[in-house]
A and B are shown apart, each in its own frame.
Chain A
């Protein structure tokens, strides 16, 4: 079989058509590279940030509308999916409720004692969750557009008081942190992002470490930098520590639930324990989140 090249068509590899096509491609690639560079270099408050904010504002009503239409279908899918393991789950929750009721009574006693002792000592504390924050509830209107991105977009922005670095959670626990804000929307970097981390404390032992997402895993976290002499057991709860090192404070207030320890290992060669955590939050089904807006912004 022979192949003959047709020389005159505008779709060929030579001629004015080909030149125009290549110029179009070159211009678009160049424009993309310029946009990438400007986004990295430009200030959020600059012209590009303004253009992005305007674009997001124009598109937001469409996204919110579509989300409202899609939500019942998503709920129906979740309901059908949930039925499969409902019986076993209900029994597990009943057992948990009994245990938690006991813990609640003990915690209330401890809380009262702690409050009295703080008053006696005149103890100065950092921002505390939820007392020092105002909760802004927001609908999730955008999901990661690719597998490289671990962020969501929520329908609350600067107009609702949301600022960069505000912590985000849902009823189950810590979700992430606000990384970009427009007038009406905000981008939330999820805790599953490889670049996200949170200082954490293990309850009840008080061991401290840093929670990171495990690379190459679906939704498993690791508690890093926990000293070998600290006691951590499977089943222990991990919450944010709200640590403050010099002028650098944690983005998260103390006491936000993160997850539960599932395994603890240590080797002779490693300096720290290898602790695996299962997060309380299901990062694949976030419908709504709460942004914690500090009642008093600190410099």
Chain B
């Protein structure tokens, strides 16, 4: 990870975390709210691979937990895994697919919500599955899918600049 990229990526993470906490979370769309930060972390993972995705996901979660004065580490854990998984997807089956951001955001939104629910339940917090999964998840998923491609394009523009994305490949289709 070059210093220039690290700086730009950190800026994207900080801006997305601030926007999420101060503005985006207050928007109620059919009972849910878009998760801009998750979409941005997934984009960073897709663009720079699993390790960078995990590190940036961790930082993003830490900033949100600090801003919202929540239990430190919970959002970091969820976003670390989200960034890592997005990176692995880009390095393997999602390589070269134009709709990879859409697929990754869709799957990771659902997985992150379910994992977040389990995490809160394991920590002994009173969380109603119906309230968090059935109610807000479908509108959140829809909003995240709408954001996926534009945010991915914007994040690519912001973090890459003139620098090209490193090639990501693990498997090769030979026929």
List the one stretch of A52-60, A89-97, A117-125, A267-275 in contact with chain B: A52-60
**Would you call A113 an interface residue if the criterion is a C-beta within 8 Å of the partner chain's C-beta atoms?**
no
Closest to A17 in B: B51
**Which residues of B, 1-45, contact A by the 8 Å Cβ criterion?**
14, 18-23, 25-26, 28, 31-33, 35, 37
Q: Report how far A222 CA is from B39 CA in the complex, Å.
A: 36
Residue of B31, B69, B123, B128 near A180 (CB, 8 A) is B69
Residue of B18, B62, B117 near A148 (CB, 8 A) is B117
Closest to A13 in B: B170
Q: Is the CB of B69 within 8 A of A147?
A: no
Count of chain B residues with Cβ under 8 Å from any Cβ of A? 67
List the one stretch of A19-27, A104-112, A239-247, A288-296 in contact with chain B: A19-27
Binary interface encoding of chain A residues 177-190 relative to chain B, with 1 for a CB under 8 A from any of its CBs, else 0: 00010100111000
Count of chain A residues with Cβ under 8 Å from any Cβ of B? 62
Binary interface encoding of chain B residues 74-105 relative to chain A, with 1 for a CB under 8 A from any of its CBs, else 0: 11110011001000000100000000000000
**Which residues of B, 124-172, contact A by the 8 Å Cβ criterion?**
125-128, 130-132, 135-137, 140, 168-172
Binary interface encoding of chain A residues 33-72 relative to chain B, with 1 for a CB under 8 A from any of its CBs, else 0: 1111111100000001000100110010011001100100
> B54, B67, B84: which has the most chain A beta carbons within 10 Å?
B67
Q: Is the CB of B32 within 8 A of A31?
A: no
Q: Is the CB of A59 within 8 A of B55?
A: no
Minimum C-beta distance from A90 to chain B (A): 24
Q: Report how far A146 CA is from B31 CA in the complex, Å.
A: 12
**Would you call A249 an interface residue if the criterion is a C-beta within 8 Å of the partner chain's C-beta atoms?**
no
List the one stretch of A3-11, A200-208, A229-237 in contact with chain B: A3-11
Known contacts A32-B73, A63-B22: A11-B169 contact under CB 8 Å: yes
Q: Report how far A153 CA is from B143 CA in the complex, Å.
A: 24
List the one stretch of A128-136, A137-145, A257-265 in contact with chain B: A137-145
Minimum C-beta distance from B164 to chain A (A): 16
> A5, A11, A36, A215: which has the most chain B beta carbons within 10 Å?
A11
**Would you call A151 an interface residue if the criterion is a C-beta within 8 Å of the partner chain's C-beta atoms?**
yes
Closest to A286 in B: B26
Residue of B22, B71, B126, B169 near A40 (CB, 8 A) is B71
Q: Is the interface of A mostly helix, strand, loop or mixed?
A: mixed
Known contacts A39-B72, A216-B128: A146-B49 contact under CB 8 Å: no
Residue of A33, A59, A149, A151 near B77 (CB, 8 A) is A33
Q: Is the CB of B18 within 8 A of A32?
A: no
Closest to A77 in B: B27
Q: Is the CB of A3 within 8 A of B171?
A: yes
Q: Is the CB of B22 within 8 A of A67?
A: yes
- A residues contacting B by CB (< 8 A) are 1-6, 9, 11-13, 20-21, 24-25, 28-29, 31-40, 48, 52, 55-56, 59, 62-63, 66-67, 70, 74, 141-149, 151, 153, 180, 182, 185-187, 193-195, 215-218, 284-285
